Amino acid sequence: MNTESILTFEDVSKVYMKGGRKIKALENVSFSLKHGTLNLISGPSGAGKTTLIYLAGLIKEPSNGKIMVKGINTNNLNDNERANLIRDEIGFIFRRFNLLPNLNVLENVMLPMIIRDVGKAKELLEMVGIKEWDRFPRDLSFEEEQKIALARSLVNDPSLILALEPTGELDHEQTTNFIKTLHKISGITLLMTSDNEPLRKFFKRTYQLENGKLKSI
Ligand code: ADP
Ligand code: MG
C-alpha cells in the first residue's frame, strides 16, 4: 500500500448504456495523486472528465478497475462506509450553483460542518480573501463565489478536493486569481478538470483526457 497516494485509479473503466448501445466513457484509466499536489485533467467536451470526477468522488461506481482513497479500496465498501469516506476525506467544488442563495457567505461555508466552528469558517474565508461574511450569493462575483466554495470544501479537513470545471464561468483574470488562491493553501491535494488547456502551466501534474483515455503530460 502506498500511503503517500491520496487517490489511485487502477485500470478504471466506465461504460454507460444508452438506447441499448454501450458508451465507453473511461477506458483503463490509471493514475495516482500524491499528497499536497495540484493536478489538472484537461480535455474536450465528452472526453470523460465529469465521469472521472464522479468516480473519484465515489458518487458513481466503475464498471471495471480499482479506486483507492488513502489506501482504502473503495470497491468493497457498503453505503455507510462509502458515505463516511466521502464526508471525512473529500471536498467538492462544481462549476456553478455551489452556494445556497438564502444563506450568507459564512453560513454557506459552515454548511458541511459537523461541529459548527465559526472561528474556523472565518479563518478559511480569510484564507481565500473574503472579508465580509454577511454578504449573500446574489451580491458576489463568480470569482468570489468559487473562492467561497473552495473555503467550504476545506471545512472538514478533507484529504482530497475534487473540482469539476470550477473556472468554467470565470474570465481569464478571475481564473488566474482563483488558481493563485489554490496555490496559497498549503497541503491541499486537488484534482481539477478544465477544457481550458492553457491552464496547464499552473499545475504540478497535468493529464489529458480524450475519448475516455488518459495521458500523462
Ligand atoms: P466531459 O465531462 O469530459 O464532457 P462526460 O464524462 O460527461 O465527459 O461524458 C463522457 C461520455 O459519456 C460522453 O460520450 C457522454 O455522452 C457519455 N455519458 C456521460 N454520462 C452519461 C450517462 N449518464 N448515460 C449515458 N452516457 C453518458
Ligand atoms: Mg463535463
pLDDT at 2 over 50: no
The set of cell numbers assigned to 52 is: 472521472
| Cβ-based neighbours of 156, under 8 Å, separated by 6 or more | 87, 88, 91, 112, 113, 114
Question: Which numbered ligand comes closest to the C-alpha of 43?
Answer: 1
- Residue 3: predicted pLDDT: 52
Tell me if 97 CB under 6 Å of ligand 1. Answer: no
Atom index in ligand 1 nearest the CA of residue 14 equals 12
Homologous superfamily (CATH) of 33-61+77-216 is P-loop containing nucleotide triphosphate hydrolases (3.40.50.300)
Q: What is the pTM of this model?
A: 0.95
Tell me if 47 CB under 6 Å of ligand 1. Answer: yes
pLDDT at 1 over 70: no
Beta strands 160-163 and 5-18 are unpaired
Tell me if 51 CB under 6 Å of ligand 1. Answer: yes
pLDDT in tens, 159-188: 999 999 999 999 999 999 999 999 999 899
| Cβ-based neighbours of 158, under 8 Å, separated by 6 or more | 88, 89, 90, 91
Phi then psi for 48, rounded to 5 degrees? 120, 10
Tell me if 13 CB under 6 Å of ligand 1. Answer: no
Ligand 2: centre distance to CA 146 (Å): 17
pLDDT in tens, 48-82: 999 999 999 999 999 999 999 999 999 989 999 99
Most distant CA pair in the chain: distance in Å? Answer: 53
pLDDT in tens, 114-160: 889 999 999 999 999 999 999 999 999 999 999 999 999 999 999 99
For the chain, the domains span: 33-61+77-216
